[in-house]
Amino acid sequence: MRAVFRGRRYTVVGWTDARVWLEPVVSTDAPSNRLHVSPGDADLILDPSDEDMDLAAAFERGEINAFEYIDGHTYPPGREIVRPRQRPRSIAFRDRPH
């Protein structure tokens, strides 16, 4: 099972009622990089959507400066998600008044 915790991608490697064991998708040279997390942690998404996984990958690469959860909170807390400004739609030449 996949997971997102604090904006990063993980694989669930174990589960009890009190703990979820997570292992990072992006491996490091650390000998033991598993995390023990409460299943009710607000920064944990179990079985995230592909969109959540893509956003977490972008956060890991530094393309975005925060990960936004569906309830609106961010990790790191209080960071604003910067979105590109949308340009006004152009009016096609044929649709312009004469």
pLDDT grade for 59, boundaries at 50, 70 and 90: very high
Report the pLDDT averaged over residues 38-59: 95
Report the pLDDT averaged over residues 30-55: 90
In whole angstroms, what is the distance from residue 17 CA to residue 97 CA?
A: 65
In whole angstroms, what is the distance from residue 28 CA to residue 16 CA?
A: 25
pLDDT of residue 82: 61
Average pLDDT over all residues of the chain:
82
- Sheet containing 44-46: which strands, arranged edge to edge? 35-37, 20-24, 8-15, 2-5, 44-46
Peptide bond into 84 cis (omega under 30): no
Name beta bridge partners: 36. Answer: 21
Among the residue ranges 41-45, 61-65, 91-95, the one predicted with the least confidence is 91-95
Residue ranges covered by each domain of the chain: 2-75
